[in-house]
Amino acid sequence: MISFEEARAQILASVSPLGKQEVKLTKLLGSFLSEPVTAAQDLPGFDNSAVDGFGVLVSDVHSATADSPARLHLSGVIRAGDPGNLHLAPGNVVKILTGAPVPHSVDAVVMREYCEESNGYVYVRQAADRGENIRRKGGEFRQGQVVLQQGMRVTPPVIGLLATLGYSSAPVFKKPRLAVIGTGDELVKPGRPLACGQIYDSNSYALVAAAKGLGIDVCRSYLARDDFDSTANVIRLALRESDVLISAGGVSVGDYDIVKDVLEDCGVHGLFWKIAMKPGKPVYFGTLDSKQGSRRKLVFGLPGNPVSALVTFHELVAPALRKMMGAKSVLPQTLLVTLGQTLKKRPGRLEFVRGSLVLEEGAMVVRPTTGQDSHMLGGLSQANCLIHFPADEEQLPEGSQARVDLLDWSH
Ligand code: AMP
Ligand code: MG
C-alpha cells in the first residue's frame, strides 16, 4: 500500500498534455490555452468615455460649482460607433455617450448628472480633472503584450477577453476521450424496477457528470457484469474508444473483484493497487501503451462505493485529466480553516472527511457533514470540501487549523 501523496505523484508523472488545436470561441469553454495570448491591438483601441456626459476643456469648468455653474455652448453629440473627429473650442462642450470616442481636444468628460442642458447650452455644475472619465487607448493592454498565459482555463471572462481582442478562435490543448465502466451483477439502470438484492447504478452517472464538469466532452459509459469474459469484452471496447478509462467497483479483495486481473489481461501495466487513504483504499492505476503512434492510455480502477468513487475521482483522476488538458494548476484548491468539531480516527490512512465550510463570525469554520460512510452520497452531496485528516494523526482538536480541499465539481 502506498501513501496518497506517492500515488498522486506517480499518476501525474505518467501524464503529459495532449496535442494542440485551434478552437472556435463558441466551443472553447473549459479548455486550457496551449499558447500565451497577446493583444492584437491596444485595449481600449481608442480614447473613449466611461460615462454618459459632456466633454469639456478643464479651463472652462475650473470654477464650476452647483451654485455657480459654467454656461457652455453645446457643439454636438458623439455616440458609440461615431468616428468622433471633432475639435472642441473654448466655451463649448460636446455631448459624449458611454463608449463613444473622446476627441483629442477634449480634456475630460463630466457626468450628465452634474450637467443641465437648456436651449443649446449646458450648465456644468462641477469642475473636472484632466482625463476624468476617459478610458485611454492602451490603458489596459498594449498591442503585443501577453494578456493570457498558457495553461489558463478558458472561462467566460477569458472568452469575453478573446472576443474583445478580435480573436474568433484560440489555441488550446485537446481534451481526452473518457470511458466510464460501472461493474456489478447487482446494478440496474435508474428508472427500471429493482428485484430483491439489486441496487441502482449511480457511479456511471456520477462519474460521467464529474468528467463533464471538468470540461470533458466525450465520455461514454458502460456496464459490466461480474464475470471475467463479459468484463473483458467491455473493457476492450472501452479502451479502444478512449484515452482514459475509469472503472468503478470490482477492484477490492472480494471473490468477484476481477477488474484488476481483467485489466492486466488486456495489457494494462499496473503501477499501483491500494492507497493508504479513506475512502478509496483499493484504487488501481495503470497505463496501456497501445499500438504505434497512438498515445499511452491511463486506466483507473476506482472503488465501487459511490463516495469512494467520487472522492478518488476528485483527488486522483481529475488532476491527471487537468494535466492532460494542459492546465497549469492541476491540484484541488486548498485552504487552511478552523475545525469546528474534534475529529478522531485510527492512524494509518489519510482520511478525506466530507466537510461543510461556512463563514462564522468572520472566520471560515469547517465541520463534518452527516453521513460519512463511503456508501452515503448524502454526506458528500452536502459537502463543499474534504478535510485532510493526516495518515498518522488520531485526533484533530476542535479549534485547530485543518487543511481542506475545496470540492469543485465544475473546475
Ligand atoms: P465492489 O467494490 O464492486 O464490491 O463495490 C463496493 C460497493 O459499491 C458495493 O456495495 C456495490 O454494490 C457498490 N457499487 C458498486 N458499483 C456501484 C455502482 N455503479 N453504483 C452504485 N453502487 C455501486
Ligand atoms: Mg462489485
Structure-block grid coordinates of residue 190: 435508474
pLDDT of residue 292: 65
Q: Which domains does the chain have, with CATH numbers?
A: 4-19+175-324 (3.40.980.10), 24-43+141-173 (3.90.105.10), 48-135 (2.170.190.11), 334-406 (2.40.340.10)
- Each residue of 112-169: pLDDT tens digit? 999 999 999 999 999 999 999 999 999 999 999 999 999 999 999 999 999 999 999 9
254 or 278, higher pLDDT? 278
Alpha carbon of 377 to ligand 2 centroid (Å): 17
342 burial type by CB count under 10 A (0-12 exposed, 13-18 middle, 19+ buried): exposed
Q: How far apart are CA 78 and CA 97, in angstroms?
A: 6
Q: Centre a 10 Å sphere on the Cβ of residue 57 and count the other Cβ atoms it contains.
A: 21
Ligand 2 ion: residues within 5 Å (CB): 184, 249-250, 304
pLDDT of residue 40: 95
Alpha carbon of 99 to ligand 1 centroid (Å): 58
Q: Locate the ligand 1 atom nearest the alpha carbon of residue 183 and give its number.
A: 16
Cβ of 184 closer than 6 Å to ligand 1, yes or no, is yes
Cβ of 279 closer than 6 Å to ligand 1, yes or no, is no
Alpha carbon of 235 to ligand 1 centroid (Å): 17
In order, the DSSP letters of 212-229 are HHTT---EEEEEE-SSHH
Over 90: is that where the pLDDT of 17 sits?
Answer: yes
Mean of pLDDT over the chain: 97
Cβ of 223 closer than 6 Å to ligand 1, yes or no, is no
Cβ of 355 closer than 6 Å to ligand 1, yes or no, is no
Q: Please, which pLDDT band fits residue 295 given cuts at 50, 70 and 90? A: confident
Probe residue for ligand 1, chosen from 189, 205, 225, 305 as the CB with the greatest number of ligand atoms within 8 Å:
305
In order, the DSSP letters of 262-324 are HHHHTT-EEEEE-BSEES-TT-EEEEEE-STTSPEEEEEEE-SSHHHHHHHIIIIIHHHHHHH
Note the pTM of the prediction, 2 decimals: 0.93
Strand partners, 122: 72, 117
- Each residue of 215-263: pLDDT tens digit? 999 999 999 999 999 999 999 999 999 999 999 999 998 988 999 999 9
Probe residue for ligand 1, chosen from 180, 185, 199, 311 as the CB with the greatest number of ligand atoms within 8 Å:
199
